[in-house]
Amino acid sequence: MIQFADPMFLWLLLAVPLVAYFMFRRRREAAIKFSDISLLRNVRRSRRVKNRKILYALRLLALILLIIAMARPQAGKKTTEVSSEGIDIMLALDVSGSMKAEDFKPMNRLIAAKEVIKDFVQGRQSDRIGLVVFSRQSFTQCPLTLDYSVLLNFLEQVDFGMIEDGTAIGMGIANAVNRLRSSDAKSRIIILLTDGINNAGEIDPLTAAQIAKTMGIRIYTIGAGKPGKALYPVDDPTFGRRYVQIDNELDEKQLTQVAESTGGKYFRAKSEDMLKNIYQQISELEKTKFKIKEYLQFDQYFPYFLMAAALALLLELVLRETLFRRLP
């Protein structure tokens, strides 16, 4: 980036054409006067005399270089330092059999959740994100990582049948808390998605939430599924796939208590669009703080223009006193 510290001096360049006009049109007084010079008019001028205008050109060049030097040209280098206060996020995802319900047409709840979580991960920056899955038990599918491609690969592998069926919400929370326990991030959160009620595991959801609160971990809970009944696929070895109606058993009161006890919030997702909107809201609530500092360093170039102007004047002086020297 090139700029001038005193650009007002550049206006003097507008006067250079005027100076050049008077310089080249100027008539010098003769050192010796003659009464009649008509005989000399037919004498052809030598190349040396014709090239004397080089002296004026050098003087003009020196003037231009001097004006530019007065404007103090400088080149700057911009250095940007970006620091961020990353957030550690554990995603807790229910993979129990009830997530097969197809009320998020045309997909079931699990596939819809995976698609939305994928978009959520790709929209984050500088945050460590991990994944916990739970059914009757809970385990870590992916520990906290900044390598989102690895996380998305593990997310793609999530499917039904990974764990014995059931819904251990408390175990899912406890597992996520354990992963965040040693984190030194200023903000640590858990985003838990489930479509059922806690019916398995050794730890109650509210007890797990209290542990999270003690450690300063905030929990956002999401209840997935439309109210009432939902279509559930059943694969019959004889008649093939058929659908039955199942009740949507969602303990919203408990999920609300879990979230609010840690300073978080409970959301209800009745469709894939609502689920996308919920993750977007959480992303807005948990923004990573970036600090940007810019440094400008300038290299001064006016000495080079001064030197060039001095060299032009010196060359003009040498040529004037040698090659283009005039007799009195």
Res. 90 pLDDT band, cuts 50 70 90: very high
Average pLDDT over residues 135-153: 95
- Whole-number pLDDT of residue 22: 78
Whether residue 321 is predicted with pLDDT greater than 90 in this model: the reply is: no
Res. 180 pLDDT band, cuts 50 70 90: very high
Average pLDDT over residues 12-24: 82
Whether residue 26 is predicted with pLDDT greater than 60 in this model: the reply is: no
Q: Are 311 and 236 in the same domain?
A: no
Q: Report the distance separating Cα 13 and Cα 193, nearest Å.
A: 70
Average pLDDT over residues 242-249: 87
* Residue 326 covered by a domain: no
Residue 18 belongs to what domain range?
2-26+36-78+296-321
Q: Report the distance separating Cα 112 and Cα 222, nearest Å.
A: 13
Res. 296 pLDDT band, cuts 50 70 90: low
CA torsion, ordered 188, 177, 112, 253, to nearest 10 deg: -100
Q: Are 150 and 216 in the same domain?
A: yes
Q: Are 67 and 105 in the same domain?
A: no
Nearby residues of 19 by Cβ (< 8 Å), 6 or more positions away:
60, 63
Average pLDDT over residues 213-217: 95
* Residue 146 covered by a domain: yes
Q: What are the tokens at 250? A: 């969602």
Average pLDDT over residues 182-198: 92
Whether residue 23 is predicted with pLDDT greater than 80 in this model: the reply is: no
Percent of the chain whose predicted confidence (pLDDT) is above 90: 48
C-alpha to C-alpha distances, 8 to 73, 218, 303, 309, nearest whole angstrom: 12, 58, 18, 19
* Residue 232 covered by a domain: yes
